[in-house]
Amino acid sequence: MLNGEVTLKLTDYKGLPEGVKTDKTNADGLTITDGTPAQPKVITPDKAGENLSDLVQVEGVTIQSEQSGKYTNYYAHVGDQKIQLYNGFHLDAYNELSTFEGVKNKTVKGIVSMFNGNYQITIISIDTTTGIDNLNAESKALNDNAPMYNLAGQRVDKTYKGVVIQNGKKFINR
């Protein structure tokens, strides 16, 4: 967390305000302390304009490319809405967005920014939206007497109802 004052020159960069370093800019008046991690706001692509410079998360995304002259641009599509993706933090994992082409059910986290009047997400991460895809009935033959734990890590007995962990496997005890 930053507290204090800093001197910057206010300029216009393609229609957006930008603070630029001057000869009087230094960090002497700033106090830097640990803060709490920011939590992304879940949005849809059409709400990007209301969240400029915010940490956001777009869920259920399909990533698709579009050709623009000699460039290939990548977009996060949710239904008929889309927003461009930009690797502005130069993260190695996202240098080749073509590896995500056509992949569905992704969650994109990033900062909403603007380029040439269009909103985009400066990528922080692209993850797979998770969920329980299926249930497998497994035999408890490994070791019926192994200790059982609930999801909070507390040891429970065989009468406990709910999700339990035994033999390193999660299962539902009914």
Whether residues 167 and 90 fall in one domain? no
Task: Note the pLDDT tens digit of each residue in 112-122.
Answer: 999 988 999 99
Whether residues 49 and 24 fall in one domain? no
Whether residues 124 and 146 fall in one domain? no
Q: In this structure, what CATH number is given to the domain that contains residue 91?
A: 2.40.50.140
CA gap 136, 129 in Å, rounded = 20
Q: Model's pTM, two decimal places? A: 0.62
Q: Is 73 part of a structural domain of the chain?
A: yes
Task: Note the pLDDT tens digit of each residue in 35-57.
Answer: 888 899 999 999 999 999 999 99
Sequential DSSP letters for 14-44: TTEEEEEE-TT--STTEEE---PPP-PEE--
- Which residues make beta-bridge pairs with 38? none
Task: Note the pLDDT tens digit of each residue in 123-142.
Answer: 999 987 655 555 555 554 55
Q: Is 133 part of a structural domain of the chain?
A: no
